[in-house]
Structures are given as C-alpha cells and as structure tokens.
Amino acid sequence: GNSVTQMEGPVTLSEEAFLTINCTYTATGYPSLFWYVQYPGEGLQLLLKATKADDKGSNKGFEATYRKETTSFHLEKGSVQVSDSAVYFCALDRGSTLGRLYFGRGTQLTVWP
Amino acid sequence: NAGVMQNPRHLVRRRGQEARLRCSPMKGHSHVYWYRQLPEEGLKFMVYLQKENIIDESGMPKERFSAEFPKEGPSILRIQQVVRGDSAAYFCASSPPPQGGTKNIQYFGAGTRLSVL
C-alpha cells in the first residue's frame, strides 16, 4: 500500500539553525512526492514537489531530493527564520495526474529568535 | 483568481444535528477532494469528485457521510446525526484538468472547523 512516515515533532530551533525533517514512504508504482506547509489557522500550501527519482524540489530556501533507493524525501533548509514556524506535511500520490494524496502526520516546527 | 473557498470557517453543532460544509473550487478547476484532519494527526483522504461524479469515495465512512459536486454550485460535504468524534478540521482541495506536465497539484482551502457539543 501507500503510506508516509514523518519524524515526530515538535522541532524547536533557533533562528539561522539548519533544519532537517525526515520523511520516508512506501508506495506502489511511481509516485510524486510533496511537501506542504500549514500556518496556524490556515489551509495547506504546496511548498515543493518532485515527480521522479533524483529530482530535487526547492522553494523559499527549502529543498528535498526524491531518493528511490532509500524511499526518502527529507526536507532541509540551511538557515531557518521565525516566519518558518508552521506544520510541515510530507505527502505522496499514486503517480497519476489526478487522485488522492497520502499524508504523513505532520511535523510542528517552532523557530525562536 | 480567488483561491479555494470554504464556508463556514467554524461550525458548531450539537450531537444528532446535521452539518453541511461547502467548498467552491478555484476557477477552472473541475476536481475536488475532501480531507479530514483530526487533532494531532495528518490529513486523511475522504472523497474525490468531479462535476456530478464521485470518482473515489474509499475514505468516506459508510454511514452518515455523503458528498456531492453538482453541475452548478459548490461541492457539499454532508454529515448527518453528528457525533463528538466528527469534531475535526475538514479541508477541501481542488485541481485543474490535467494539462501537459502538470502533476496532481492540489490547492487547499482554509478549512472548516467542526465542533460537536
């Protein structure tokens, strides 16, 4: 089946620290992988995506590389800001152009000044 | 271009009442998804609809829950005879018809937070 496992939070960092949020997956076929971010009281926003093995998604200083050999899609940022405080969700689909997403449980990130 | 609009943002119901949640997709989007987020959990898929069709309802509870996406108007998620366990945030997402290299990008609304007393 399809599933996503994320590292459990909460994660608390000081501003300018390095961030890694681990995500591993189980999937049949060739899924696309996504990171979504949810700010307090809001819906989810797509942060970045990768559609095939070895692709690197990047946006706003965040990066994640689709690693088929380790079935991972870890989120990284070199220097976090207070404004990055949010919940981050790793997700995958079934590899088609449409259809449901499978989400991890989410990781709460808090960045202190 | 307005985003995905959900209303109400907050809904309070007593046990046994009905809850109706509405979702207007982004302009030009013909695919709608509903997800539920329970406290301290990730989003769980409920149902995927196109105009006038249910494509995948594998995540919907078998009883009390129904969804529709009529030819005109918003998509509706309906919960009959609500119970305390239905308290959650319900998110709607929409996606455009597939074109070229687009790959299942879903745009989410701000959600409806349902509280059952």
pLDDT tens-place string over residues B11-39: 999 999 999 999 999 998 889 999 999 87
Sorting pLDDT into bands at 50, 70 and 90, what band is A30?
confident
- Give pLDDT, residue B102: 60
User: Among all residues of chain A, which has the CA nearest to that of B110?
Assistant: A43
| A23-44 mean pLDDT | 91
User: Among all residues of chain B, which has the CA nearest to that of A44?
Assistant: B108
pLDDT tens-place string over residues A69-100: 999 999 999 999 999 999 999 999 887 767 88
Residue among B43, B59, B110 minimizing CB distance to A42: B110
A51·B103 Cβ contact <8 A: yes
CB-based burial, A74-94: b 16+ in 10 Å, e otherwise: bbebeebeeebbbbbbbbbbb
CB contact, 8 Å: A66 with chain B? Answer: no
Whole-angstrom Cα distance, residue A74 to residue A47? 13
Cβ contacts (< 8 Å) between B89 and chain A: which residues?
Answer: none
* Structure tokens, B73: 């108007």
pLDDT above 70 for B103: no
| B80-99 mean pLDDT | 91
- Give pLDDT, residue B88: 95
pLDDT above 70 for B100: no
